[in-house]
A = this chain, B = another copy of it.
Amino acid sequence: MRITMEDVASRAGVSRALVSLAYRDRPGVSTETRDRILSAGRELGYVPNRVAARLASRGGNTLGVFLQDLHNDLFADLFEGSRTVADGAGKQLMLGVGALDGGRDAEVLETLAQSWVDVVIAFGLQMPDAEVREMAERVPLVCVLRGVADIDSVVSDNRHGARAATRHLIELGHREIAFLANPPSDGYMDRRHGYAETMTAAGLRPRVVETTYSRETAAADAGALLDAGDPPTAIFAHNDQAAMGVLDALFRRGLTPGREVSVVGYDNSSPSKVPGVALTSVDVDGVALGRSAAELALRRIASPMAPAEWRTSFPTLMVRTTTGPPLP
């Protein structure tokens, strides 16, 4: 049987209420009995029960956090940012991890909602807007990296980032620039649009090839692109993971990124920072986004009925070694 407050109380010769106060060191307990209680607890090996505590105190004081994928360290930055402000506000965090293909979004969000969290901060949801909105009726939601109308959202302007990346390639002299796009079903279309409109504005032909979030698939799709007639001289990938796949495809063919073919990624995640083949990438400043998200979450707790707030930040292009002028 598990040791409860009751046991500690009787061992220390006091009431349960005092034990409770003592363990949360709240005023109303003399220093002497407090010590007696704590040492009684220690002797018994008492471990306070947070589940019961949360029930008794009517839940709350906890933020739910959904992370799309632990393999992408952008999410580590996002989490770090949120944790900083959560710590400052004395809020606990409860984590849920999704899957690369979005297949666990609903399930994880549901668990978080049922866990009596005040708000769920969702980093990188992929489920349809309609479902997101549906979820938001069950728990307050802060959507990050993904803007959803009428829902608190923290987004980085993907269109802006994609424009900058595309412009960079055009300015280097590239004319055949392909975009390796994420699946259109997940709601992230701005990078594609930013790319396409910049190409069109420059009088160039947009070439969109759809791929997935997996490095392997991206390598295969990029490979097909390279092997076909009229290969592009530059490839802009929807994120770094896909860009790694592009690099794989290049190296497999003996091509050097930044020379025969330029490559740009998106997210500025850790693999892009490897020296040598340092990937030119768009930096979204995950830590800042994470902080913003947590701030919105706190605001939502403070005023549950406030109208939804959107925060938009602007990413910056990090030019590294995988982009250069096209060969003559």
Does A52 have its Cβ within 8 Å of any Cβ on chain B? yes
Does A179 have its Cβ within 8 Å of any Cβ on chain B? no
Does A244 have its Cβ within 8 Å of any Cβ on chain B? yes
Type the 1/0 row for A265-291, where 1 means its CB is closer than 8 Å to any CB of B. Answer: 000001101111101000000000000
Q: Taking A75-B70, A270-B270 as contacts, is the C-beta distance between A111 and B247 under 8 angstroms?
A: no
Does A59 have its Cβ within 8 Å of any Cβ on chain B? yes
**Most chain B CB atoms below 10 A, which of A49, A71, A274:** A274
- Give the complex CA separation of A59 and B48 in angstroms: 13
Residues of B within 8 A of A247 (CB): 274-276
Task: Tell me which of B59, B80, B273 contacts A51 (CB under 8 A).
Answer: B59
Type the 1/0 row for A38-50, where 1 means its CB is closer than 8 Å to any CB of B. Answer: 0000000101111
Does A310 have its Cβ within 8 Å of any Cβ on chain B? no
B54 A51 Cβ-Cβ under 8 A: yes
Does A73 have its Cβ within 8 Å of any Cβ on chain B? yes
Does A55 have its Cβ within 8 Å of any Cβ on chain B? yes
A116 B49 Cβ-Cβ under 8 A: yes
B248 A50 Cβ-Cβ under 8 A: no
Does A200 have its Cβ within 8 Å of any Cβ on chain B? no
User: Nearest chain B CB to A316's CB is how many angstroms away?
Assistant: 20
Type the 1/0 row for A52-74, where 1 means its CB is closer than 8 Å to any CB of B. Answer: 10110001000000010111010
A55 B51 Cβ-Cβ under 8 A: yes
B114 A50 Cβ-Cβ under 8 A: yes
A244 B138 Cβ-Cβ under 8 A: no
A251 B270 Cβ-Cβ under 8 A: no
A48 B276 Cβ-Cβ under 8 A: no
Does A10 have its Cβ within 8 Å of any Cβ on chain B? no
A47 B276 Cβ-Cβ under 8 A: no
User: Closest residue to A71 on the B side, CB-wise?
Assistant: B76
27 A-B interface contacts by CB (under 8 A): A45-B138, A47-B113, A50-B111, A50-B114, A51-B51, A52-B55, A55-B55, A70-B70, A70-B73, A70-B80, A71-B76, A79-B97, A92-B111, A95-B95, A244-B273, A244-B274, A247-B275, A251-B276, A270-B270, A270-B271, A271-B273, A271-B274, A274-B274, A274-B279, A275-B277, A276-B276, A277-B277
